[in-house]
A = this chain, B = another copy of it.
């Protein structure tokens, strides 16, 4: 009964989307005093505003790290956050270097939710970022694909166990979803 009442107030849980922020190139900024790239805070809310998004989205920052520094403990935290989320539709922003490892970890540990990992090759704050394009596609894929774990990059979407990053070309390859 409580649940039905709760649903009556808003949209059903299945429509809501949770975005888990873990850092990655997506959110890197330029420190003009030190001349280095660093993390301050996530730009996901700003990007949703730029895209005039009207989706019901909850943003949760789990960590702000380069994915080369992501540990097993960090991945466990990501799995737990996906499990605990009320939402059945989850996007994870993530560095591209180890995105496929996190995707496989999630695929092995999680069931019944649609999880899309996405990121960017160029920081959102720099002029020529692919971040807004990727976020737009990830939000569409997360609304339409059946439960499973996927990587959305380069306009395509790959199941977690059929994708790898081509490090020389900077693109993701594998069997796209369809």
Known: A140-B155, A170-B33. A51 touches B134 (CB 8 A): yes
Give the shortest distance, in Å, between A121 (CB) and chain B (any CB): 4
Q: Tell me whether A69 is interfacial, beta carbon within 8 Å.
A: no
Chain copies in the assembled complex: 4
Residues of B near A130 (CB, < 8 A) are: 50-52
Residues of B within 8 A of A135 (CB): 133, 136
Other-chain contact of A178, B15, B30, B141 (Cβ < 8 Å): B15
The answer to whether A167 and B33 have CB atoms under 8 Å apart is: yes
Q: Which residues of B contact A134 (CB under 8 A)?
A: 51, 136
Count how many chain A residues have C-beta atoms less than 8 Å from C-beta atoms of the other chain: 53
**Bound Cα distance from A37 to B123, whole angstroms:** 12
Interface pair A32/B177, CB less than 8 Å apart: no
**Chain B hits for A37, CB < 8 A:** 35, 37
Please list the residues of chain A having a beta carbon within 8 angstroms of any beta carbon in chain B: 14-15, 25, 30, 32-33, 35, 37, 47-48, 50-55, 97, 121-123, 125-130, 132-141, 143-145, 152-157, 167-171, 176-178
